[in-house]
Amino acid sequence: MNTGSDEPGEATVASDAKATSEESELGSRAPEFIKARRALHLSWQVGVFVAGLAVVAAGVIMLPLPGPGWLVIFGGMAIWATEFVWAQLVLRWTKRKVTEAAQHALDPKVRRRNITLTTIGLVIVAVLGGIYVWKFGLEMPWNIDQ
């Protein structure tokens, strides 16, 4: 792996520092006065859970309907991640996978393959559309006699 440095120890130190800073970020981000009182903290967690659940449910509803479903679902997960460690870990894993997929998609060999497959698909659709028009003609829906 290319770390951008010629010195062997530098990459290890940077990754260890990043890992410890990520570890310390896990947990509740509630203000200290809320964390200090158990009942208030529990009600805070319930409120965050309900708000995140509403946003995630709206995102799930938007999946088959028009709207940014996945974006809203990840927004709900981000709301949950302000309070729950499991949501923070899921978001961290998701960010890592999206970054890996973006890096893979930017690979020149993969881009050439995707452009070739898209071109072939468009040619097939155009040929099938041409065959349909040749066989049945092009009649506008408002001109069709029933």
- Locate the domains of the chain by residue range: 36-105, 106-136
Query: 3-state secondary structure string, the chain?
Result: CCCCCCCHHHHHHHHHHHHHHHHHCCCCCCCHHHHCCHHHHHHHHHHHHHHHHHHHHHHHHHCCCCCCHHHHHHHHHHHHHCCCHHHHHHHHHHHHHHHHHHHHHCCHHHHHHHHHHHHHHHHHHHHHHHHHHHHHCCCCHHHCCC
Q: What is the pLDDT of residue 101?
A: 87
Which has the higher per-residue pLDDT, 11 or 43? 43
* pTM for this model (two decimals): 0.53
The per-residue pLDDT for 8 is 47
- Selected residue with higher pLDDT from 36 and 82: 82
Q: Is the pLDDT of residue 60 over 90?
A: yes
